[in-house]
Structure 1
Amino acid sequence: MPEPTAPLHPPTRVAVIGGGANDEHEVSLASAAAVTRAVRTLGLDAVPLTIDRAGRWRHTDGAALTPSAAVALLTTCDAAFPALHGVHGEDGAAAGLLGMIGVPVVGSPVRAGALGIDKWVTKTVAEAVGIRTAPAVLLRRADAIDALPLDPPFVVKPTTGGSSNGVSVVRQADEYAAAVELAREAGDDVLAESFVTGREVDIAVLRDRTGALRSGATLEIGVADGALFGRAEKYDGSAQFTVPARISEGQHAAIEQAARTLYDTIGCAGVARFDFFVTDDGVVLNEVNTSPGFTEQSQVPRMFAAVGLPYVDLVRALVEATFRDDD
């Protein structure tokens, strides 16, 4: 493997986009800052750009950019690395813009972003290719919430939310209305999903520049029985991660196969994270993240570091994959 400081070819100038007009703004800024450091370590010219909470483009020093100026700057770059999480970015919006202006994207294209961010659609696709998910009911904004959609306990969450925003567990009937209201603060459509008891185990997959799929190690999230892996635990440093996960070879193989199948089915590129529950009855898909958190301490870099691909080399692999040998 080349030394991290060796310059890459063909890209020499990479835009890194962070922020976003959504409730994952701060998380995205942290991911973008880490990616920018790695790009510079690789000897490349990093061009950091921020989308503020109102959707306006800015230099990272805060100076405003008109949309036309942002496009002009982006088109001076050989590639763009959108470290954006959530709607108006991860959902295919950023990939669509970059594709329209002819800037190669580090990461998934429009289709994968749009499919992956919608948890209901993800479940539908997964079930169609034989990957088990928890029983669920979709609640549109106009749907009444008079009757319980499932027997408690069940999880209520926005279909397009991230970072566990708007997620809660309904353990008794009188908690249902408040749970839906909380979820609708983070998105119009809401998913009520049967609570799954099992180990929370994630895996990440990327396609490298040769076209080969590469998997990171499995990662187990330590949470108390019956608890959620919520936003606070994700970002306050209290989460307990075990890499590789304490699961059998057969369970690992089932998770890896399901992740690779979904990666190809929804059309991912770059890296994607696949979250599962390992239960006594088998593996159950939780969700797919086509633009996962990407600081040095985030889950995906931990998974790849465990298989010999440290953070800077992971960024290298993602940038190089944008210019695949078989393209």
Structure 2
Amino acid sequence: MTKKKICVIFGGCSSEYGVSLQSAYSVIKNLKDDRYEKTLIGITQDGRWFLYEGDIERIPSDTWNDGRCRRAVLSPSRDKKGIIVFGNDSKEVSEFIPVDFVFPVLHGINGEDGTVQGMIELAGIPVVGCGMEASIICMDKNLAHILAERAGIKVPKSVTAHKKDAPKDYIDKAKAIGYPQFVKPVKAGSSFGISKVHCEEELIPAIEEAFRFDDHIIFEENISGFEVGCAVFGKKNIKVSPVDEIELFVDWFDYEEKYTQFKSKIHMPARISEDMSEEVRAAARHLYRALGCDSFARVDIFINDENELVFNEINTIPGMTEHSRFPSMVRAMGIEYSDLLDILVDLAEGKEA
């Protein structure tokens, strides 16, 4: 069997650089060697692209870029689909590596927000994952909520602000939401820049923290209840996993809890009725379509104290470590990680079971 040439991009000019290293390591390790010829591109936090040919064990520890990697870029020309590699002086082209697919395992801005997806689409290379449009929509919390609400799904009450707004406007907008509330960057993931605010005295530090990650922020209503989620994948024949549930023993699911779960627990399946589970799965499928997703994503939804479903977010490149929620959700469907990756590459190729 002829191996498929796949380029995996990791790292990224993003606050979620470290998260990408962990996800990409698992993806690279689980892509079947007898099926794929892998080309690895690492992007440093300051935005430099390198061809990485070393031991993949150095990726999660962030020791991959040891000064010996060659500079590389994705060819934008559709008649030369692949990676242009430069010599040690970074001036002369030393190699061209053809690729059939690009799998961007990037989290946050400059990777999950449609920027890289648009570049890959411009080059005419199939993307493993959602395309540019869905990536843009789902990364923008305000836009995603607007479209979810128009699709008939309840969303938290919210209002946005810009860095150029007058400070008094921030206070007035926050008061309109009420306390407690969340202050978030409009475009960021992994809970970076997010604060739960219980009173006006906590507001300014939360605003300053959110503005560290984006020029647009959102004041969002706190939903009293709990969070559930589903893995969704497919184009026409959409598959939805069983529902999982996040049980919290702390105030909210911040960055530390997402990646350590010291004071939280993930239940698979969720501790909800079968009827409620089917309602969540139907809503996840509906949201996936409504926001333009066409490959794979994790859909997160709140169940409030009145047993109503409230949209939280869609992650178009969810955490992809072997212990992350998305692979665990798919495993509950009887699909192992390496087989999941085959499915995602097949979707990029236009094949669907």
Confirm or deny a common fold (TM above 0.5). Answer: yes
Residue 272 in structure 1 maps to residue 297 in structure 2 = yes
**Corresponding residue of 2:194:** 167
**Aligned AA (1:159):** V
- Deviations along 1:63-105, whole A, 9 cap, x unmatched? 1414367743686111111111111111111111111112110
**Aligned AA (2:214):** G
Between the aligned partners of 1:257 and 1:41, the Cα distance in structure 2 is 36
Counterpart contact for 1:40–1:46, Cα < 8 Å: no
Counterpart contact for 2:72–2:84, Cα < 8 Å: no
Between the aligned partners of 2:97 and 2:122, the Cα distance in structure 1 is 11
3-state SS of 1:146 partner: helix
Counterpart contact for 1:149–1:192, Cα < 8 Å: no
Structure 1 gaps of 5+ residues are 1-6
Between the aligned partners of 1:275 and 1:237, the Cα distance in structure 2 is 17
Counterpart contact for 1:41–1:312, Cα < 8 Å: no
Report 1:144-163 matches (<5 A): 144=167, 145-147=170-172, 148-163=175-190
Counterpart contact for 2:297–2:318, Cα < 8 Å: yes
Q: TM-score, normalised by structure 1?
A: 0.91
**Corresponding residue of 2:254:** 230
> More displaced, 140-149 or 240-249?
140-149
Deviation at 1:237, TM superposition (A): 4.4
Deviation at 1:251, TM superposition (A): 1.8
State percent identity of aligned pairs: 33
- Deviations along 1:143-182, whole A, 9 cap, x unmatched? 2323334211111111111000111111111111111111
**Corresponding residue of 2:204:** 177
Deviation at 1:269, TM superposition (A): 2.2
**Corresponding residue of 1:3:** none
**Corresponding residue of 2:93:** none
**Corresponding residue of 1:316:** 342
Query: In structure 2, do the counterparts of structure 1 residues 42 and 219 end up closer, same or farther at CA, with 3 Å as the change threshold?
Result: farther
Deviation at 1:321, TM superposition (A): 1.0
Between the aligned partners of 1:113 and 1:191, the Cα distance in structure 2 is 19
**Corresponding residue of 1:65:** 71
> More displaced, 317-326 or 47-56?
317-326
Query: In structure 2, do the counterparts of structure 1 residues 146 and 200 end up closer, same or farther at CA, with 3 Å as the change threshold?
Result: closer
Residue 46 in structure 1 maps to residue 46 in structure 2 = no
- Deviations along 1:102-125, whole A, 9 cap, x unmatched? 211001011000000000000000
**Corresponding residue of 1:196:** 223
The answer to which structure, 1 or 2, has the higher relative contact order (CA under 8 A, 6+ apart) is 1
CA RMSD of aligned residues (A): 1.9
**Aligned AA (1:204):** A
Between the aligned partners of 1:283 and 1:42, the Cα distance in structure 2 is 43
**Corresponding residue of 1:119:** 141
Deviation at 1:18, TM superposition (A): 0.7
**Aligned AA (2:149):** E
Between the aligned partners of 2:34 and 2:247, the Cα distance in structure 1 is 34
3-state SS of 2:179 partner: coil
Q: TM-score, normalised by structure 2?
A: 0.85
**Aligned AA (2:50):** R
Deviation at 1:310, TM superposition (A): 1.2
> More displaced, 197-206 or 66-75?
66-75
3-state SS of 1:318 partner: helix
**Aligned AA (1:33):** Y
Structure 2 gaps of 5+ residues are 55-64, 76-81, 86-95
Deviation at 1:201, TM superposition (A): 0.4
Between the aligned partners of 1:286 and 1:42, the Cα distance in structure 2 is 39
